[in-house]
Chains A and B, each alone.
Chain A
């Protein structure tokens, strides 16, 4: 306490640098969220207000923009398609992926290594570059312009990732529980369904969340394989909508917000899983 001035100046300096740190961090946070927040607000404006000024708040919040996109813009249909494709892809992927991971990590058999490498190779291959033969294949199978075609592709393309995450997680699980179950006479299918799947839950959540983002956000696959508008996913629908309502930005922004709402809501509820999952996942 002998030098109150120096103590004060140290404190001030500390507080100053601390404040600067927060200012920088908040500034960047604002920069990342700002465009989306701006668009959210503008999506409630009328056409005239939108063209008058970007920075003013809407005088009347125009929910009609959303109604317009949802009904006339057929976003209701696109939304339904996207949900269908995403949900079935995730479920299919989790079932097939966990089954394969179970066989690969709990059984020792000839060719196990080769099969594992074969799957892992899919992590390095940029899938989009193989779409031409897939296109021909789906055409010959009669699955072109079908949501089931999309689902099959998504499951196949994301299997390497699912198997990679799940086999790694299997290795961390103790084998004793399964051994006890074998002693009790449980078959492999019961062990898989009743013991392993519940234990796998955290890894399944990671895979599910990542695949949700990949499938929901994807434009390329539906762009190549879907033609008729009643089968558009949200991303394809938004592109189409943009072309139809060029200049009508109040509608386009409302449509854009519809496409990202589910992602934002899920993210805010489970941000930890999203962050954890996506920092382990490498998108091809």
Chain B
């Protein structure tokens, strides 16, 4: 009996027939599945990607959680210390102060850039959606430009533009303000520079959705006596709800992941005096250290910081994804 199934499986294996395996006993089906030609093809195509992704993304994610419960510094002994890192992170004033300080900056960045993006993004998308507008292509290319340029380079470019001695901004206003060095101007300046970079992306996002709204709705609204403003209020905005949610999520991920630009503008320490510190720079310092503190706080503590940020970002992202899937497009 077993031999028969074996032969059948082998035949199947070589012929690659997998469709007719319904009436086989369990062992036969198992053999079919494990040995089927189809499965082997699938594995050949899938394994390289699966392996590299598992080794370099999935496995590190899990180990990150494990490390966060140890006092490991990267070499030598690794002791499990339970929740100690987390307790220290949120109770020890030195650590928790920095965590909340950085978190506050990310949150403000997110909030302000939301006003910027929904305000400016939507306004410019509506202006660009004018059907008789000439040169829309040019404007799209121009507005999108800052978003594709390396944020690090953009940071240095802005450092030059805002330079207290040789910067254009100070020359135009005849001032000598160290925009990025003063306690009260540093953070607002960084936020504005950051917003200018991302707004282009959101303009194009909105524009694509606005242009995809069927003209039937607009014509119907016109017949009912709507002017352009009413049309925006009653037609565009309700239909843009999913886009607005998408952009909120995108902006959330961008704002809480911001690194390069902050690094270029004010350095890894979030100068001056942590006024522009964000979670990613804080995480980098904790894990890998700086010139003043070469080993940071150790890899265990670094992992705890990473996990605390990751949990927050993932949780909020999932809530947003839920909302996006639930939002029905009316009309």
Contact = CB atoms under 8 A, between A and B. Distances in A.
Nearest to B139: A25
Interface stretch (A4-12, A66-74, A97-105): A97-105
Interface in A91-142: 96-97, 99-100, 102-104, 107, 109-110, 115, 118-119, 122, 124-137
Contacts of A38: 160-161, 168
B61 A130 contact: yes
Interface in B162-209: 163, 165-168, 171-172, 196, 200-201, 204-205, 208
Interface in A202-252: 213, 216-220, 223-224, 234-235, 238-239, 242, 249, 252
A115 B154 CA distance: 38
Interface stretch (B2-10, B107-115, B254-262): B254-262
A169 interface: no
B1 interface: no
A97 B49 contact: yes
Contacts of A253: 156-157, 160
Interface string A37-59: 01100100000001101110000
A284 B257 contact: yes
Interface residues on A, range: 35 or more
A155 B67 contact: no
A38 B46 CA distance: 49
A213 B197 CA distance: 14
B139 A35 contact: no
Interface in B46-63: 46, 48-50, 52-53, 55-61, 63
Nearest to B311: A129
Interface residues on B, range: 35 or more
A263 B49 CA distance: 28
Contacts of B250: 282
B61 A96 contact: no
A271 B144 contact: yes
- Residue among A96, A128, A130, A253 with most chain B CB within 10 A: A130
Contact of B306 (A33, A39, A132, A238): A132
A249 B57 contact: no
Interface in B35-85: 38-39, 41-42, 45-46, 48-50, 52-53, 55-61, 63-64, 67, 74
Contacts of B147: 278
A264 B150 CA distance: 10
A279 B208 contact: yes
A259 B168 contact: no
Contact of B148 (A99, A103, A263): A263
A147 interface: no
A259 B60 CA distance: 31
B7 to A, nearest CB: 23
Given A99-B49, A126-B310, A156-B56, A249 B200 contact: no
Contacts of A217: 148-152, 260
Contact of B163 (A21, A238, A249, A274): A249
B261 to A, nearest CB: 9
A141 to B, nearest CB: 9
A88 interface: no
A274 B144 contact: yes
Contact of A249 (B48, B166, B196, B249): B166
Contacts of B45: 99-100, 102-103, 188, 192
A31 interface: yes
A137 B74 CA distance: 11
A35 to B, nearest CB: 5
A51 B55 CA distance: 51
A162 B315 CA distance: 24
Contacts of A32: 142-143, 145-146, 196, 200
Contacts of B139: 25, 29
B133 interface: yes
A130 B57 contact: yes
B263 interface: yes
A234 B153 CA distance: 10
A103 B46 contact: yes
A267 interface: yes
B17 interface: no
Interface string B291-331: 00000000100110011011001100110010000000000
A39 B56 contact: no
A100 B49 contact: yes
B27 interface: no
Nearest to A277: B148
A162 B208 CA distance: 22
Contacts of A42: 160
A15 B249 CA distance: 39
A217 B167 CA distance: 25
26 contacts: A25-B139, A29-B139, A32-B143, A35-B157, A96-B49, A102-B45, A107-B41, A109-B42, A110-B33, A124-B321, A127-B57, A128-B257, A128-B283, A130-B306, A132-B67, A132-B299, A133-B59, A152-B56, A155-B56, A156-B55, A188-B41, A219-B264, A238-B156, A239-B152, A253-B160, A279-B204
Interface of A: 21, 24-25, 28-29, 31-33, 35-36, 38-39, 42, 50-51, 53-55, 96-97, 99-100, 102-104, 107, 109-110, 115, 118-119, 122, 124-137, 152-153, 155-157, 159-160, 163, 188, 192, 213, 216-220, 223-224, 234-235, 238-239, 242, 249, 252-253, 256, 259-260, 263-264, 267-268, 271, 274-275, 278-279, 282-284
Given A128-B283, A252-B160, A267-B145, 5 more contacts: A28-B143, A32-B196, A100-B45, A128-B280, A159-B57
